[in-house]
Chain A
Amino acid sequence: MAWTVGEEMPPLEKKVEKVNLVMYAGASGDFNPIHWDDEFARAVGLPGVIAHGMYTMAQAARALTRFAGGVGRLRSMKVRFSAMVRPGDTLTVKGRVAEVLPDGNARVEFWAEIQDGTRVLSGGEAVLA
């Protein structure tokens, strides 16, 4: 694919429901109760259950592989988990091509935010073929 610096990744939007976290817990094997048990989550000082960081990262991976035109084109990605995502929040993943590398691959900078603009994934960088 011929990449252009500044090209924007089509945003991906996902409203997160508690059932998504329960399904992710089962599929991933991460059964930390902060992701599915509100009572437990409040007891450890959270406002209630929060999404797995990896669930949010998976949404970013969806946006990136769509942008790249296929799962095999995603070479690398990294993120920092910078804020909590709670059921009822709507995630939006955004990004753009920051650099075209000498081998023709794109270095994409991306992030995810919720409806009030809080960035929940920060410092996102990916390489797309």
Chain B
Amino acid sequence: MPLNRSLVGKEYPPAPAYEVCREKIREFATAVGEDDPVFFQEEAARSAGFPDLVAPPTFAVVVATRAVAAAVADPSLGLDYSRVVHGEQEFRWRRPIIAGDRLVARARVADVAARGRNELLTVDTEISTETGEEVCLARMTLVSRGTAPGSEEGR
């Protein structure tokens, strides 16, 4: 089944605030192989001009995914998650994510487009602090395999 294009522009209520803690930053930084001390030691982060530990740039996806999940799970969109692969990802940062941030993520369906037999679902997520400071825009494009109008499913 093709995705429901009338949902382009739909916004989803934000996921509960994400509280960024130091140990989560250290865990994520270790997992991706970072070695810059600004991700591990408060003193190093402060002497580099940050108020606290800095999260690696792509940590933003962890916060964004919670919001995107609302769109992905929306029954009116008609997405079959077993057909989905991550196609493209973009981030625009206003500033790095810092330990102690309480982040709110709001997802909006930005586009649904056919590419060959596949469809591309683009979801924009605005990440800001609870007090309204903009932190990052995350644009995630998911590929829905074999669902383009006119294509036979399962081929």
Q: Which A residues have a C-beta under 8 Å from some C-beta of B? A: 14, 20, 23-24, 26-30, 44, 52-55, 57-59, 61-62, 65, 70-72, 74-81, 123
Contacts of A59 in B (CB 8 A): 32-33
Question: Known contacts being A58-B56, A61-B57, A61-B58, is A72 close to B96, with CB within 8 Å?
Answer: yes
Query: Are A78's CB and B38's CB within 8 A?
Result: no
Contact across chains for B65 and A78 when beta carbons are under 8 A apart:
no
Q: Check B33 against A72 for contact (C-beta < 8 Å).
A: no
Q: Which of B95-145 contact A (CB under 8 A)?
A: 95-96, 139
Say whether, besides A23-B31, A24-B31, A62-B32, A79 and B58 are in contact (CB < 8 Å): no
What is the 8 Å Cβ interface bit string for chain B, positions 19-53, against chain A (1 contact, 0 not)? 00000100110111110101100000000111000
| B36 to A, closest residue via Cβ | A71
B residues less than 8 Å from A27 (CB atoms): 24, 27-28, 30-32
Check A26–B33 contact: CB distance below 8 A. no
Report the minimal beta-carbon distance from A21 to chain B, rounded to whole angstroms. 9
Least distance between A112 CB and chain B CB atoms (Å): 13
CB of B73 within 8 A of chain A? Answer: no
In the complex, A80→B27 CA distance in Å?
Answer: 26
Knowing A28-B61, A54-B86, the reply to whether A75 touches B92 (Cβ < 8 A) is yes
Closest chain B CB from A50 CB (angstroms): 10
- Give the residue among B31, B56, B62, B92 with the most A Cβ atoms within 10 A: B31
CA distance A23 to B27 in the complex (A): 9
Chain A residues positioned under 8 Å from B85 (CB to CB): 81
Which of A14, A57, A70, A123 has a CB less than 8 Å from the CB of B58?
Answer: A57
Chain A residue at smallest Cβ distance from B62: A28
Q: How far is the CB of A52 from chain B (nearest CB, A)?
A: 8
* B54 beta carbon closer than 8 Å to chain A: yes
Which 3 residue pairs across A and B have the least CB separation, nearest first?
Answer: A78-B90, A27-B31, A58-B32
* B6 close to chain A: CB less than 8 A: no
Complexed CA–CA distance, A59 and B96 (Å): 17
Measured CB to CB, the nearest residue on chain A to B94 is: A75
Task: A78-B90, A78-B139, A81-B86 are known; give 11 further A-B pairs, CB within 8 A.
Answer: A14-B33, A23-B31, A27-B28, A27-B30, A58-B33, A58-B56, A65-B57, A70-B48, A71-B39, A79-B90, A123-B88
* A-B pairs with beta carbons under 8 Å apart, 19 shown: A23-B31, A26-B31, A27-B31, A27-B32, A28-B31, A28-B61, A28-B65, A30-B65, A44-B82, A54-B89, A59-B33, A61-B32, A71-B36, A71-B39, A71-B54, A71-B56, A74-B57, A78-B90, A123-B88
